[in-house]
Each structure stands twice: as structure tokens, then as C-alpha cells.
Amino acid sequence: MIRFQLELSRLRRLILEMGADVEDNVRDAMKALERHDENLAAIVERRENETDEREVDIEEECLKLLALYQPVAADLRYIVGVLKINEDLERVGDLSQHIAERAMAITRGGEAPGDVDLARMASKVTNMLARSLEAFVDLKPEMAREVRAGDAEVDAIHRQHISILLEAIKARPESADVLLNVMHISRHLERIADHATNIAEDLIYMAEGEIVRHK
């Protein structure tokens, strides 16, 4: 079974590399928005394509381990957890690319309204993502529980953004394009927080064997 343990270590390394890339992508997408940086947006897109490839590799690796070793107990929970985290990270990768695309559209179309604080929201969301991955690295269910608790706050910020932006669209219909793009970015960030929450929940399952989703 030493071989199996080595395979699990390899899987762990692969998913952590992917996690690090995805985290970078979210940060860079937000920087691209902040600085109207097209080069950075292009990097985000390239990295997102790599993430897609990584996702397929990791899924194949998980399926191979399930078929060859028929793991049980903690090993089974680990591989199933990695399969799910893999999917969440891939979605976060997609969302970071969507943010970068919207950011470039805003660059061409004008400024985001000052009363919508996307940077503050992004800082909370990236922190949640980083902590969910940290909880995974160190197998810390307590930290994962903190991440879960943070999701409601991000949801509230997003709802607040929607009402501000709806008012702004009514007041300045000529800026509707920009405002809708901003609304989409807020929505993408809110979805990233959801995926970070999923990762945290998967970690709790891996560590404790309890499915905490919807509880």
C-alpha cells in the first residue's frame, strides 16, 4: 500500500497546484479590473485554459485510483473530496476569466460607480478561497467552518450591490452597459464565495465523514 500512499500524495500535490493557480487567477482578474490591464486579462485567460487541462488530469487520476485501489474509509472520502474540489476550482477558474472579460468591457466603456465596492468584496472572497484551500492543506475542519460562516456576508454585499446598481441604471440608463458588467462581476465574486464554501464543506466531509451541506 506504500504505492497507494505515494499516489495520494501526488494527487494532493496536483490539486494544490491547481488551487494556487486558481487563487492567482482571481487576484489577477481583480487587478486587471482595477488597473484596466489588458495584458493581465490575457494572462488570466491563458491560466484558465491550463486550469481546464489540470481539471481533466486530476479527474482521470481520481478515477484511476478508485478503479485500481478501491479505497475505503478516509482514503475514499479523500478521493471523492478531491473530485469535488477539483470541479469547484475549475468553476472558480471560469469565473475569474469571466471577471477579466467584464473588466475589459468596462475598460472600454467607462468607470465603475464609486459606491459599489468590488475591491472590498473581492478581498473577502479571495480570503475565503485561500482559507478553504488552507483548511484542505492542513485538514482543518474548524477553519473550514469559519469559511462557511463567511458566505452569508458575501451574499449580503452582493444583494446590496444589486440594489445600488438597479438605482444607478434607472438614474443613468445610458451607462447601463457598464453598470450591468459591474453587476455581473459582483455576481461572479458571489459565486466564487459559494465554491469556496463548497470546498470547505468537502473538507469537513473528508476530515469527519459528515455531509454538512444544506445544514
Partner 1 sequence: MSGVKKEEAMTGVNGSSKTAVMRGSAEGNGMDAEAHVTAERFSVFYHNREAVRQVSLAIPARGVTAIIGPSGCGKSTFLRAINRMNDLVPGCRVSGRLVFDKEDIYGPRIDVVALRRRVGMVFQKPNPFPKTVFDNVAYGPRLCGLTGRAQLEEIVERSLKSAALFDEVKDRLGQNAIGLSGGQQQRLCIARALAVDPEILLMDEPTSALDPRATSRIEDLIAELRGKYTIIIVTHNMQQAARVSDRTAFLYEGNLIEFGPTKQLFTKPRESQTEDYITGRFG
**Interaction site with partner 1 (CB under 8 A):** 1, 4, 70-77, 209-210
**Cβ-based nearer residue to partner 1, 183 or 207:** 207
**Radius of gyration over every alpha carbon of the chain, rounded to an integer in angstroms:** 19
Residue among 119, 102, 112, 123 at smallest CA distance from 45: 102
CB of 207 to partner 1, least distance (A): 11
Distance CA 151, CA 80 (A): 23
CB of 209 to partner 1, least distance (A): 3
**Cβ-based nearer residue to partner 1, 74 or 166:** 74
CB of 74 to partner 1, least distance (A): 6
**Cβ-based nearer residue to partner 1, 3 or 173:** 3
CB of 82 to partner 1, least distance (A): 16
Instruction: Give, as one character, the DSSP assignment of residue 36.
Output: T
Distance CA 22, CA 31 (A): 14
**Cβ-based nearer residue to partner 1, 110 or 209:** 209
Instruction: Give, as one character, the DSSP assignment of residue 72.
Output: -
Distance CA 47, CA 65 (A): 27
